[in-house]
Amino acid sequence: MGVLADIRATFAIAWTDVRLLLRDRAAAFFTFVFPIIFAMFFGFMFGGGGGERGKIEIAVVQLDQGPAATAFIEDLKKTGEISVKMVPTAEEAEAMVRKGEVIASIVLPSTFQKDFDNLLSTGKGPKLEGFVDPSRKAEAGLLEGRLNELAFRTMGKSFSDPAKMKQNLAKVKESIAKASDIDNSRKILLGAALQNMDSILDDNQKQAAAGKSDALSDPMANFRPVQVDLKELTRKRVGPTNSFEVSLPQGIVWGLMGCVTAFVSTLAHDRQRGTLVRLLSAPVSRWQVVGGKALAGFISCMLVQWVLIGLFAAVFNVKLTNPPMLLIATLASAFAFVGVMMFLSVIGRSGEGSAGFGRSVILVMAMIGGGTIPIFFMPKFMQTVSSASPFKWAVLAIEGALWRGFTPAEMMYPLLVLCGIGVVGFVLGVMMFRRAMKT
């Protein structure tokens, strides 16, 4: 008979198992309904759509210990809407942005003081470099404005010491006079400008004495005392913006668990009831039987994942920023769990025994793999332990595509782990299946 008949037979086996899952009320409940309830519950518990917006958290690296930099940071800390975390190196600060712990990082360069002092002569203030989470652009804009405002204030302090300022101006005049690359006409112009400045400072000095100190801000309205250069991280999105984006992968964990459990039971049942033997006595190869079962598991795993994703996208505004990547992630996790399924189905000698064992193993895996608590909430050592659970990798891949904004290269790691789990489980499962079926 032809390939067509073979495919038809394999699909008939797969379709049978999918129907058995959907028709078994308990299995269907634990595969589809329970995960939805669970993920909804946690979604609401974590704060619902949007999540609360607290302070803008930024990581600051101070490479210059001079008074200007220190004053700048002090001012930064005093503002109500910015929360500052001091970090020793620029790399660490950047990493914090990547992990979504802060929305931006800012480095005060080692030349901060010098640049600040030479602000007037060079026309360029200190350059603040850093990274910003592209998903938080609104806050980043706000931050940039804030930084300039603060720099003004810091500068204002030095301006409010006109003596120091005049000293600076003298330095500037001197350097202009000496400069060989500035032609004379310019020198005269600049000289006049500086003279004006001098008189402003004199006025200011008088006004300050009279108690009005903010006259400065007017003539310098368009002046940018610091150059803020915030690069967007290469990723599209970092960090969940909606608590349902956190609970959705959790729901998927439970859905996959329900799926695996149901299949382990179905196969156990098949072995016990003699239906498996009956299938094997039909003119189909063992590969077709195993393949049909695997296909059924695969279809069900995909189904449960996308039912959850679809529902959460439609109802809870979970944004699918990268659908192709998400598809790949779900394919890989379905593949991995088919392997787990195959392995757990045949691990025991008796059908029921393996089902019971399989259920407990999978429950523990789900719990440590992020089913109960999102992995990034776990303490460090638990995060390490959870690496042993296939669920963790499925969650990581799905989060990577959902809100971690993984690049394809970053995606490779969890995907490869998932594929590895799938292959190993499948090979072991098939080997043991063949042995169990030997007569």
Partner 1 sequence: MLRLEHLRKTYGSLVAVDDVSLEVRKGEVFGLLGPNGAGKSTTIGMCVGLVSPDSGSVEIGGVGAPTTDAVRRHLGVAPQALAIYDDLTGAENLSLFGRLYGLGGRDLSDRVHRALDLVGLMPRASDRAGKYSGGMKRRLNLAAALVHDPPLLLLDEPTAGVDPQSRNNILDTVRDLARAGRTIIYTTHYMEEAQRLCDRVGIIDKGRLLCVGVVDDLVRAHGGKSVVRVERAGKHERVETDDPLREIATVLAHVGPDGPATGVHIERPDLESVFLSLTGRSLRD
Residues that bind partner 1 (CB under 8 A): 1, 5, 8-9, 11-13, 16, 19-20, 23-24, 273-275, 277-285, 439
Nearest to partner 1 of 184, 281 (CB atom): 281
Q: How many residues does the chain have?
A: 439
Nearest to partner 1 of 118, 300 (CB atom): 300
Nearest to partner 1 of 168, 300 (CB atom): 300
Burial letters for 173-197: b for 16+ Cβ neighbours within 10 Å, e otherwise? beebeeeeeeeeeeeeebeeebeeb
Evaluate whether 398 touches 313 at the Cβ level (below 8 Å).
no
Give, for 108, the enclosing helix (H) or strand (E). Answer: strand 104-108
Closest approach of partner 1 to the CB of residue 433, in Å: 15
Nearest to partner 1 of 9, 256 (CB atom): 9
Nearest to partner 1 of 6, 410 (CB atom): 6
How far apart CA 162 and CA 165 sit, in angstroms, is 5
Residues 6+ apart with CB under 8 A from 24: 262, 266
Biggest alpha carbon–alpha carbon distance for the chain: 106
Closest approach of partner 1 to the CB of residue 26, in Å: 12
How far apart CA 69 and CA 63 sit, in angstroms, is 9
Closest approach of partner 1 to the CB of residue 295, in Å: 14
Residues 6+ apart with CB under 8 A from 345: 263, 264, 267, 268, 293, 354, 358, 429, 433
Nearest to partner 1 of 20, 303 (CB atom): 20
Sign (positive or negative) of CA dihedral 111, 117, 119, 125: positive
How far apart CA 402 and CA 247 sit, in angstroms, is 12
Residue labelled with tokens 């959460």: 312
Closest approach of partner 1 to the CB of residue 22, in Å: 9
Closest approach of partner 1 to the CB of residue 3, in Å: 11
DSSP 8-state symbol, 233: P
Q: Give the count of beta carbons closer than 10 Å to the beta carbon of residue 139.
A: 21
Give, for 128, the enclosing helix (H) or strand (E). Answer: strand 127-132
Closest approach of partner 1 to the CB of residue 8, in Å: 5
Nearest to partner 1 of 19, 206 (CB atom): 19
Closest approach of partner 1 to the CB of residue 255, in Å: 20
| Token duo for residue 316 | 């809870």
Nearest to partner 1 of 14, 87 (CB atom): 14
Closest approach of partner 1 to the CB of residue 4, in Å: 8
